[in-house]
Structure 1
Amino acid sequence: MSRVITPRKEDYSRWYTDVITQSQMADYSPVKGCMVIRPLGYSVWEAMQRELDARFKETGHQNAYFPLFIPESFLHKEAEHVAGFAPELAVVTHGGGKKLEEALIVRPTSETIIYAMYAKWIRSYRDLPVLINQWANVVRWEMRTRLFLRTTEFLWQEGHTAHATEPQAEEEALLILEIYRRFAEEQMAIPVYTGIKTDSEKFAGALRTYSIEALMQDGKALQGGTSHNLGQNFARAFEVQYQTREGTWEYV
C-alpha cells in the first residue's frame, strides 16, 4: 500500500481520500458505497456524539430507538416524502427464505415509523411537547460516494418532536439549527453559514428546511446539518392528534 499522499494542488479529491485512508480514519468496504470507520475515526464520532448529546439533553430532549425496517405502506402515506426518497430506497422483499407479505424499507430517515408511534402515544395537550432524539444508521442508495461525505450507509442523529402549535414547532427548528451552528463553530472549529433551503432543496414533506453550510477548500459548499419544520404534513398522514384544553381535537 502506497504511503504517498497526493498533493492537494495536483488532485484535490485524491488528496482527500489519501488523507482519510492513510491516517487510518476509515477505509473502503467490500460493499460498494459503504465505508468502514476505523477506531481512530470512530473515536472522533464518539467525541462528537457525547458533546451533541449533552447539548440536546440540556434542552429537554430524550434518546430513544426505533426500528431499522419500515413498512413500505408507511412511506406512501406522505406523497412528497415517498417521491423524494424513492430513488434512494433499499427494499427488503424476503426474510427467512420466504417472500414478505409487505416489503420493508431499510430506514432512509425515520419520520414515518416515529409518527406511527406518536399516534399511539399522544392523546392530550398534557403529552406535549414530545422531544425525542435518535442515534442511528440510515441507508440511502447513492450513485456517487465519498468517504465520510456521502456513503450508502451512514451514522447520524435525528430528532423528532411534536408540538401543540406551529410557532412552537418553528421555535424548535430554529433552536436546533442554533445548536448545530454552535457545535460546528465552538466544538469543531468549522465556520458555517446558516439559512433556509429553497423549495426545490428542502426536505421531502417539510414546510421549511434550515441548514448549516460549510465552505470547503475547493470552493464547494457542504451541508453540515439540517433542521426542518414539518408543519402538520406527517401528523395528518398518520393521524397524530391531541385534545386541547378546550376539548377540541387538533393535529400536532
Structure 2
Amino acid sequence: MSKKDKLVKAITSRDEDFSQWYTDIVTRAELSSYSSVRGCMILRPYATALWELIREDLDRRFKESGHENVIMPLFIPESLLQKEKDHVDGFAPEVAWVTHGGNEKLSERLCVRPTSEVLFCDHYSEIIESWRDLPKLYNQWVSVVRWEKSTRPFLRTREFFWQEGHTAHATAEEAIQETKDILELYADFFEETLAIPVIKGVKTESEKFAGAETTYTVESMMYDGKALQSGTSHYFGDGFAKVFD
C-alpha cells in the first residue's frame, strides 16, 4: 500500500462520522496538534502560513477602509470588566482568572481577555474629548481565552487567534453603517478570497453578543447541514459610551 493510500485509509469516511472525519483531516494534514494544555492547540507551519495569508488580506481591507491597528493588554482588572453588567454576565462562565503574581496574591483578580470591549472603551474615554475626535476606527490582532468545556481544532478552542475591531462614532447612524459595512467586508473576504459561500443575517435575541443591541453575522453551511458562525459585527448603541463616560 502506498503512502498516499495509507493516509486516505487513516481518514474516517465523511458519511460515516462527519465529526471524526474533520478531526482526521486537521491532524493528518499536519495543520495542528493537541497541546499539553487541555482545550488548546498548536498551530503547525501549514496552519500558521494560512493564518498569515488571511491576516494579510483582511488587514489590507481594514486599512483601506480607514482602520488603524493597536494592541491592548492581555489582562483586564475585574473592576473594569464589571462595569458593563450585560457584557460581563455573558462571559462570566468562560473567563480565566489570574489570582497570583509569583507567590504573591493579587489585590484584584485579573481577567485573561475573552474579548476587549472594556479595554477599548476605557482607552477611548481618555483620548476622545469631543465629536471632533470621531470617528475612532481601531483594530487589533491578538489571541483571546475562553474557558470552553467542549473544544474542537479551529472551530472552538480555549485560546484562539482573531482580529477585533472597536469603533466610536458621533451618531447612531454612522455606527450602524460601520457595523453593516464590516459585515459586507467579511462576506466579500469569505467569498472572494476563501471561496466559501456565506449567508448574511441577524442573530436572534438569545444568540446576539453579550451587551450588543444587534449582532450581524455571516454563516457558512457545513456538510452536515449545520450553520457555522464565521464572522460577526455588533452594534452596541451607547451602552458602553455611557458606562465609560
Q: TM > 0.5 between the two?
A: yes
Correspondence for 1:107 among 92, 96, 113: 113
**AA partner of residue 207 (structure 2):** E
1:165 maps to 171
4+ residue stretches of structure 1 with deviation over 2 A?
Answer: none
Give the Å deviation of 1:96: 2.3
SS, match of residue 209 in structure 1 = strand
**AA partner of residue 205 (structure 1):** G
**AA partner of residue 240 (structure 2):** F
Distance (whole Å) between structure 2 residues aligned to residue 134 and residue 160 of structure 1: 9
Correspondence for 1:36 among 38, 42, 47: 42
1:209 maps to 215
1:84 counterpart = 2:90: yes
Distance (whole Å) between structure 2 residues aligned to residue 8 and residue 195 of structure 1: 28
Q: Deviations over 1:158-195 (max 9, x none)?
A: 00000000000000000000000000000000000001
Q: Unmatched 5+ residue regions in structure 1?
A: 240-252
1:187 maps to 193
Give me the TM-score of the superposition, normalised by structure 1.
0.93
SS, match of residue 151 in structure 1 = coil
2:74 maps to 68
1:121 counterpart = 2:124: no
Give the Å deviation of 1:125: 1.4
Give the Å deviation of 1:6: 1.0
Distance (whole Å) between structure 2 residues aligned to residue 193 and residue 12 of structure 1: 22
Give the Å deviation of 1:126: 1.4
SS, match of residue 226 in structure 1 = strand
Q: Unmatched 5+ residue regions in structure 2?
A: 1-5
SS, match of residue 147 in structure 2 = coil
Distance (whole Å) between structure 1 residues aligned to residue 205 and residue 83 of structure 2: 21
1:58 counterpart = 2:43: no
Distance (whole Å) between structure 1 residues aligned to residue 189 and residue 78 of structure 2: 35
Correspondence for 1:48 among 54, 58, 64: 54
Distance (whole Å) between structure 1 residues aligned to residue 171 and residue 16 of structure 2: 53
Q: Percent identity?
A: 58
1:123-162 alignment runs, 5 A limit: 123-162=129-168
SS, match of residue 65 in structure 1 = coil
Give the Å deviation of 1:140: 0.3
Give the Å deviation of 1:136: 0.4
1:17 counterpart = 2:23: yes
Correspondence for 1:98 among 101, 104, 117: 104
SS, match of residue 218 in structure 1 = coil
**AA partner of residue 167 (structure 2):** T
Give the Å deviation of 1:56: 0.5
Give me the TM-score of the superposition, normalised by structure 2.
0.96
Q: Deviations over 1:92-115 (max 9, x none)?
A: 010021000110000000000111
**AA partner of residue 125 (structure 1):** W
- The total of aligned residue pairs comes to 238
2:243 maps to 237
Give the Å deviation of 1:133: 0.4
